[in-house]
């Protein structure tokens, strides 16, 4: 059975964004605001400063388009494989999604356990992350310790970014249900009505922000969009509605700036911000708008950068380790961020410096570890990554041949 091919330009975009999205993810998780878990309507609970404003603007605004883009790419690529039996494709996804999910959950748990016992400084930094129950000194003295191990390994990993693999696997399981409305009486008015109605429902669920362990509304919408594009002539060459890419950039910037300003209003940490329901609603819908506008601009507005980067051998070589960056950076990043803050406190702009330097260092470290493992233990590397990132795959992707999603 032949492997599906796509155009070289589209292939390069998929490779580029698969890698860049992982690099940006490290910065999305690398903020050092007082509030350690940012949701769309989260207030930072600190005074408005240039550093806090920049971190919130990027981590909880401008960079949030990445995951929807990856869901769309994954849906597109999964739809390309319709010639293969559905059951065989799901069995393959067990090796490319479920096995890495479980293994990296264990690695994340082992990492946080090791760092918590690696000396007073790292132990304090680990406790400051609030990622787990290591704040509780009796954690490992309870009779049911194994229950916590199972919980933090399989249900709610310490390496919290792994939720994407779980969500993507369930989307693959749902594929027949998601694809059927798109193919209903194809070529007829009934199909047009069905598709429009189906996407209207998915968009409303996206706005509602429904998030369950096996149903993530944002993922369902963009994964289904990828399916639709794959089955209907591919990705359009130009932005929708006759617009230009810079229109979407302008909209993204304005909405992100307004949302960030609202997040720091009032700026006093003692303000009763949650009581302002109207303000939170504005923040929530601006956040959704930033995601959509940012995705459209990134896809259509950076073609020159994509071509330049994908023509650079060093960049392409680094892109092989996108999955390793994704899987390894947490909880390491959170602990090292707290550790760095503990000894840079008092430096000018120390929080902004650590926001830039620590994620950069962690990304380089992850790529280095990936290269070391791929060189010395390629079979282990293949199991941990779902066989992603080998040289033969990079060459195939450059030729527009795909057999798996980028993450």
Res. 251: pLDDT tops 70: yes
The conformation of residue 26, written as its DSSP 8-state character, comes to H
Scanning the structure block, which residue is given the tokens 């749902």? 174
Per-residue pLDDT, 18: 92
Per-residue pLDDT, 138: 52
Per-residue pLDDT, 267: 47
DSSP states of 170-229:
HHHHTHHHHHHHHHTTTTSHHHHHHHHHHHHHHHHHHHHT-EETTEEHHHHHHHHHHHHH
Count of residues for the chain?
407
54-69 pLDDT, tens digit per residue, is 999 999 999 999 999 9
How far is 64 from 206, CA to CA, in rounded Å?
Answer: 14
The conformation of residue 44, written as its DSSP 8-state character, comes to -
Res. 232: pLDDT tops 50: yes
Share above pLDDT 70 across residues of the chain, in percent, rounded to a whole number: 87
331-373 pLDDT, tens digit per residue, is 899 999 999 998 888 888 899 999 999 999 999 999 999 999 9
Confidence class for position 268, pLDDT limits 50, 70, 90: very low
The conformation of residue 139, written as its DSSP 8-state character, comes to G
Higher pLDDT, 252 or 106: 252
Res. 239: pLDDT tops 70: yes
How far is 98 from 91, CA to CA, in rounded Å?
Answer: 10
Confidence class for position 1, pLDDT limits 50, 70, 90: very low
Per-residue pLDDT, 143: 46
Scanning the structure block, which residue is given the tokens 């998601």? 178
Q: Which of 61-75, 205-219, 223-237, 270-284 has the lowest mean pLDDT?
A: 270-284
Res. 22: pLDDT tops 60: yes
How far is 243 from 248, CA to CA, in rounded Å?
Answer: 8
Per-residue pLDDT, 382: 92
Res. 274: pLDDT tops 80: no
What values do phi and psi take at 5, rounded to 5? -120, 150
Residues 6+ apart with CB under 8 A from 120: none
Summarize the confidence of residues 317-336 as an average pLDDT. 93
The conformation of residue 2, written as its DSSP 8-state character, comes to P
How far is 103 from 154, CA to CA, in rounded Å?
Answer: 9
Share above pLDDT 90 across residues of the chain, in percent, rounded to a whole number: 57
Per-residue pLDDT, 40: 86
* Residue-averaged pLDDT of the chain: 86
Task: For residue 79, give the H/E element and its range.
Answer: helix 66-80
88-122 pLDDT, tens digit per residue, is 999 999 999 999 999 998 898 888 888 878 888 88
Per-residue pLDDT, 399: 67
How far is 225 from 270, CA to CA, in rounded Å?
Answer: 43
**Bridge partners for 5 per DSSP:** 401
275-301 pLDDT, tens digit per residue, is 677 888 899 999 999 999 999 999 999
Confidence class for position 406, pLDDT limits 50, 70, 90: low
Per-residue pLDDT, 103: 93
Scanning the structure block, which residue is given the tokens 């591919």? 234
Contact 236, 72 (CB under 8 A): no
Res. 395: pLDDT tops 90: no
**Bridge partners for 211 per DSSP:** 216
What values do phi and psi take at 279, rounded to 5? -65, -40
Task: For residue 149, give the H/E element and its range.
Answer: helix 145-150
139-180 pLDDT, tens digit per residue, is 555 546 666 666 666 667 888 899 999 999 999 999 999 999
Buried b (16+ CB within 10 A) or exposed e, 147-185: ebeeebbeeebbbebbbbbbbbbbbbebbeebbebbeee
Reported pTM: 0.90
The conformation of residue 138, written as its DSSP 8-state character, comes to T
């Amino acid at each position: 059975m032949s492997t599906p091919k796509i155009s070289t330009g589209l292939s390069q975009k998929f490779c580029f964004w698969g890698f860049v999205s992982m690099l940006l993810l490290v910065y999305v998780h690398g903020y050092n605001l007082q509030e350690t878990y940012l949701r769309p309507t989260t207030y930072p609970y600190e005074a408005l400063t240039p550093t806090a404003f920049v971190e919130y603007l990027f981590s909880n605004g401008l960079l949030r388009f990445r995951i929807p883009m990856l869901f769309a790419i994954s849906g597109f690529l999964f739809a390309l494989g319709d010639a293969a039996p559905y059951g065989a494709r799901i069995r393959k996804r067990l090796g490319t999604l479920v096995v890495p999910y479980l293994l990296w959950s264990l690695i994340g748990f082992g990492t946080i356990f090791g760092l918590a016992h690696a000396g007073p400084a790292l132990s304090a930094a680990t406790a400051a992350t609030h990622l787990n129950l290591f704040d509780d000194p009796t954690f490992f003295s309870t009779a049911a310790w194994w229950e916590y191990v199972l919980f933090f390994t399989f249900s709610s990993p310490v390496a919290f970014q792994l939720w994407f693999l779980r969500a993507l696997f369930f989307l693959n399981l749902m594929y027949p249900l998601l694809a059927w409305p798109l193919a209903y009486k194809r070529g007829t008015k009934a199909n047009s009505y069905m598709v429009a109605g189906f996407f209207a429902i998915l968009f409303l669920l996206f706005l509602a922000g429904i998030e369950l362990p096996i149903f993530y509304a944002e993922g369902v919408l963009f994964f289904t969009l990828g399916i639709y594009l794959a089955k209907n002539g591919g990705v359009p060459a130009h932005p929708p509605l006759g617009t230009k890419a810079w229109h979407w950039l302008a909209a993204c910037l304005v909405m992100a700036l307004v949302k960030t300003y609202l997040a720091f209003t009032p700026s006093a940490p003692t303000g009763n911000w949650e009581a302002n329901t109207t303000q939170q609603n504005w923040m929530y819908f601006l956040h959704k708008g930033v995601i959509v506008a940012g995705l459209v601009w990134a896809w259509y507005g950076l073609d020159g950068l994509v071509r330049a980067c994908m023509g650079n051998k060093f960049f392409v070589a680094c892109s092989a380790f996108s999955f390793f960056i994704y899987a390894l950076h947490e909880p390491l990043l959170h602990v090292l961020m707290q550790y760095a803050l503990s000894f840079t406190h008092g430096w000018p702009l120390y929080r902004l410096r650590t926001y830039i330097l620590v994620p950069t260092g962690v990304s380089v470290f992850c790529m280095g570890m990936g290269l070391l493992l791929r060189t010395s233990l390629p079979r282990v590397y293949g199991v941990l990554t779902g066989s992603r990132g080998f040289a033969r795959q990079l060459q195939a992707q450059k030729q527009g041949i795909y057999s798996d999603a980028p993450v």
